[in-house]
Structure 1
Amino acid sequence: MTTVGQRPQSSPRELTRASDRISFVYLERCTIHRDANAITAEDADGITHIPSATIATLLLGPGTRITHQAMSVLGETGAAVVWVGEHGVRYYAAGRALSRSSALAEAQATAWANRRTRLTVARAMYRLRFPDEDPAGLTRQELLGREGRRVKQCYQQHAQRTGIAWRGRQYTPGDFTAGDTVNQAVTAAAQGMYGIAHAVVTALGCSPALGFIHSGHELSFVLDIADLYKTEIGIPLAFDIAAESAEDPGPRTRRALRDQIHRTGLMDRCLTDIKHLLLGQSTPGPDTAPDQFTDTVTLQTDGDTLLPAGHNHDPYGDAW
C-alpha cells in the first residue's frame, strides 16, 4: 500500500475547476487529518471524509486542530485555508494555482505597475459594482467618494427594508462581539466573501497583494474582488439574517452565504470578472486553457522574444 508521502502530487488537469468547487466548508471543534486525497474531520460524533479537491476555501473555526498532512493535500489541490473565530478572521495559508500559466499574473502586474492603467481597472471595478453609473473620467478621490455614498445608501436601504435600527458600521478588530447583531452578520458575511475571493485569486495564479483600489496589504487584490459583491450579496443577506433572529448571527450568516453563493453561481462569476478586469475578456470561458495545464518555462530576451528554457543559448559555446 502506498503511503501518503509516496503518493504523486495531483496535476492541474486532474483537479476540480475552481468554478465547480464548494465555495467554502466551515469546521470547528474537531481534528482535521488526511486520508489518501481527502481530509477527515474527527469529533465526538465520528469521522467525516471531505474530498479536498472539491473545496475552494476551508474555514477553520474555534477548537480546530489540523495536521501537517492535511495542510499538504489542501495546498496541493489549490484550496485556501482561513482561520476564523469569534474574534475576527486570520489568513494563514493558501493553495497553489490551478494553472501553470503566468498570463493572468503578468497581466495583473502590468496593469498595476502603471498609474493610468491602474486607475482604468479601478474604474472598471466601480462599473461592475454600480452598473447604473459611468465612472469614466473620475479621479480616484471621486471614485472613493461615490463608493462611500453608495455603500452608505445600501446600509440605509436594507435597514429600512428589514426594519432594523441602523446606527452605522461598527467593527472592532479582534473583538467580533463588540458590534450589534446586524454588524456581526455584516462582518461574518465579509469574512466568507474574503475567503472565497482569496481562493479564486490564488487558483488563477494572481497576486493577492497587487490591488487596484486597496493598497499596502498582502490581500489588497482579494479585498478588491470581494468588494465587487458587497452591496449585491453580502450586505442584503446580513440584514436578512439579523432581522430573523439575534441568536448566533455568525454561524447563521455563514450558512446562508454558502447557499446564496451556490444559487447565484458566484464562483464562476468571480472568475469571469477577474479575467475581464485583467485581460479584457468580456465573455465567460473555462478556468484554464488547455495549454495552461503544462509546465512551460521560457526565458526572456530582447524584443519580448521568449526562448525555451533548459538550453544553452551561447551562440559561440558548446551545448551543455
Structure 2
Amino acid sequence: MDDLSPSSLKAILHSKRANLYYLEHCRVMQKDGRVLYLTEGKDENYYWNIPIANTTVILLGTGTSITQAAMRMLCSAGVLVGFCGGGGTPLFAGAEIEWLTPQSEYRPTEYVQGWLSFWFDADKRLAVARTFQQSRIDYMRHVWSKDKDLKDNGFYVDDADIEHALSGFAKKIPVLDKVGDLLLAEAQTTKQLYKIAATRCKLTFERNPEQGDLANDFLNHGNYLAYGLAATTLWVLGTPHGFAVMHGKTRRGALVFDVADLIKDAIVLPYAFICAKEKATEQEFRQQILQKFTEHKALDFMFEQVKQAAIGIKD
C-alpha cells in the first residue's frame, strides 16, 4: 500500500468525521502504511484497522501502548490522542484536560484572534457564556424533538416538567450579570434534568462521579467522550483551552468543559439513564452515544458555535 500524504488524510473535515475510539488492553502500531491496534488472543494475535482519515479522537485506556510510527501517522491525519483510565475516565494529568495534539503551523488564525479580541473584556465573555447556554437549550430542544429512541423512553421535550426546566433556565440567562450566577443556574437546571431522567427510567439517582452505579458511570464515560469532541473542535480552530467563558479561568482545560456542555445534556444525560435502565454494558453504551453524536451532528454543532462566538463578537 502506498503511503498517504498528510493532505489526503485531512480530506474529511474534522466536523464531518464519524469515529471516536476508546481502546484498552491493546497496542497501537503502524503496519504497511496503516494504523492498527493489536489485541492478544489465547492462541493468536488479532489486528484491527483504524480509519484515521475519518477519526477525530482516540482515547487510550488501561493496558495500552502506542508506537512512535503510529503517533506520527495519527498526527499527520490530525487525530487527537488522549491517555485515560478504565472506561474512558479520567483523562490523566490531574484534573486537567490533557491531549497529545498534532503539531501544525497551518491551522486558521482568524478564530483564535477573534476569540482573544473579546476574551479580555468581562462583559463580552459573559455575552458569549449566555449565548452558549441559550444554544445548549436550543440544541436540546432540537434533539429531543427529533429523536425517536428518546420518545420511546418517555422523553418528550414538550412535557410539562421538561418545558418548565428549560424555559425557566432560558428566562434567567439574559438577566444574570455574573458568570458565577450563570453557572449556578446551569447546575440547578442539570439537576432538574437528572431528576426528570431518573423518573422516566424509574431509577433512584444521586449525582456522584465516584458512586459506581451504572447511571453515574455512564455519565462519566459519556462526558469524557464529549470532552474529546470539544478538544478536537478547539484544536482544529486553533483556540487554546485556557480561554474559558464559563468554567474556572485558572484551569488550563476549562474551555473544553464549556464547549462539551453544549451537547452533554441533550445526548449524554438521557442515554446514560436509558442505558442504565437497560443494564447495558459499557461498550453498548459507548456505541449508543457515538451513534447519537453522529446522528445529531454534535461535532458540527460545536464547530458552528465556537466559530460564531469567535468571529461574531465585535466592538
How is 1:105-124 mapped onto 2 (pairs within 5 angstroms)? Answer: 105-124=112-131
2-side partners of 1:180 and 1:109: how far apart?
Answer: 41
The normalised TM-score by structure 2 is 0.78
Alignment-derived partner of residue 187 in structure 1:
220
The 1:12/1:89 distance shift into structure 2, 3 A limit, reads same
Is contact 1:41–1:49 with CA below 8 Å preserved after alignment? Answer: yes
Alignment partner of 1:30 is 2:19: no
Shift of 1:97: 5.8
Question: How much does 1:203 deviate?
Answer: 1.5
AA paired with 1:203?
A: V
Moved more, 195-204 or 36-45: 36-45
Structure 1's 141 and 14: CA in aligned 2 closer, same or farther, altered over 3 A?
Answer: closer
- Give the drift of 1:46: 2.0
Q: Distance in 2 between matches of 1:110 and 1:23?
A: 33
Structure 2, unaligned runs of 5 or more: 93-97, 139-166
Question: CA offset at residue 89 of structure 1?
Answer: 2.5
8 A contact 2:10–2:53 mirrored in 1? no
Alignment partners' CA distance in 2, 1:18 and 1:84:
22
Asked if residue 253 in structure 1 is aligned to residue 285 in structure 2, the reply is: yes
Q: What residue identity is the alignment partner of 1:34?
A: Q
Report what 2:185 is aligned to: 146
The answer to whether the Cα contact below 8 Å between 1:194 and 1:226 also exists between their aligned partners in 2 is yes
1:254 is displaced (CA, Å) by 1.5
Could you tell me how far apart the structure 2 residues matched to 1:108 and 1:50 are?
Answer: 34
Question: In structure 2, how many angstroms separate the alpha carbons of the residues matched to 1:92 and 1:276?
Answer: 24
How far apart are the structure 2 equivalents of 1:154 and 1:98?
42
Q: CA deviation at 1:186?
A: 0.7
- Note the alpha carbon deviations across 1:192-220, whole angstroms, 9 max, x for none: 11111111211121112211001222211
Higher radius of gyration, 1 or 2: 1
Gap regions ≥5 residues in structure 1: 173-177, 282-320
1:268-307 map, 5 Å: 268-280=300-312
Kindly provide the amino acid, as one letter, of the partner of residue 67 in structure 1: T
> 2:138 matched to 1:104?
no
Change (3 A) 1:26 1:108: same
1:29, 1:62 within 8 Å by CA — same for their partners in 2? yes
Q: Is the partner of 1:34 in helix, strand or coil?
A: strand
CA distance in 2 between partners of 1:141 and 1:276 (Å): 23
Instruction: Give the RMSD, CA atoms, in angstroms.
Output: 2.4
Please list the CA deviations of residues 73-95 of structure 1 after superposition, one character each: whole Å capped at 9, or x if unmatched. Answer: 21222111122232622334123
- 1:130 pairs, out of 110, 134, 137, with 137
The one-letter code sitting in structure 2 at the alignment partner of 1:191 is Y
- Contact in 2 for aligned 1:98/1:205 (Cα 8 Å): no
SS at match of 1:93: coil
Of Structure 1 and Structure 2, the greater helix share is in: 2
Out of 148, 155, 175, which is 2:194 matched to?
Answer: 155
Q: What TM-score do you get using the length of structure 1 for normalisation?
A: 0.77
Give the equivalent residue in structure 1 for 2:257: 223
SS in 2 for 1:267: helix
Shift of the 36–77 alpha-carbon distance from structure 1 to 2, 3 Å rule, reads farther
Cα deviation, residue 264, structure 1:
1.0
How many angstroms does 1:259 deviate by?
1.0
Alpha-carbon separation, structure 1, partners of 2:46 and 2:33: 19
Q: Which residue of 2 is the match for residue 267 of structure 1?
A: 299
Aligned-partner Cα distance in 2 for 1:209–1:218? 4
SS at structure 2 position matched to 1:88:
coil
Q: Percent identity?
A: 25
Q: 1:12 to 1:42 in 2, by over 3 A?
A: closer
Amino acid corresponding to residue 185 of structure 1 in structure 2: F
CA distance in 2, matches of 1:243, 1:114: 45
Could you tell me how far apart the structure 2 residues matched to 1:199 and 1:16 are? Answer: 14
Which residue of 1 is the match for residue 68 of structure 2? Answer: 68
The yes-or-no answer on 1:94 pairing with 2:90 is no
Question: Counterparts of 1:97 and 1:179 in 2: how far apart (Å)?
Answer: 40
Matched AA of 2:207: R
Cα distance in 1 between the residues matched to 2:123 and 2:32: 49
Specify the code of the residue in structure 2 equivalent to 1:266. Answer: A
Report how many aligned residue pairs link the two structures.
269
Range 95-104 or range 272-281, more displaced? 95-104
Deviation at 1:9, TM superposition (A): 6.1
Structure 1 residue 70, shift from structure 2 partner: 1.1
Deviates most, 229-238 or 23-32: 23-32
1:184 is matched by which residue type in structure 2? Answer: D
Partner of residue 164, structure 2: none
Look up the SS of the partner of 2:200 in the other structure: helix
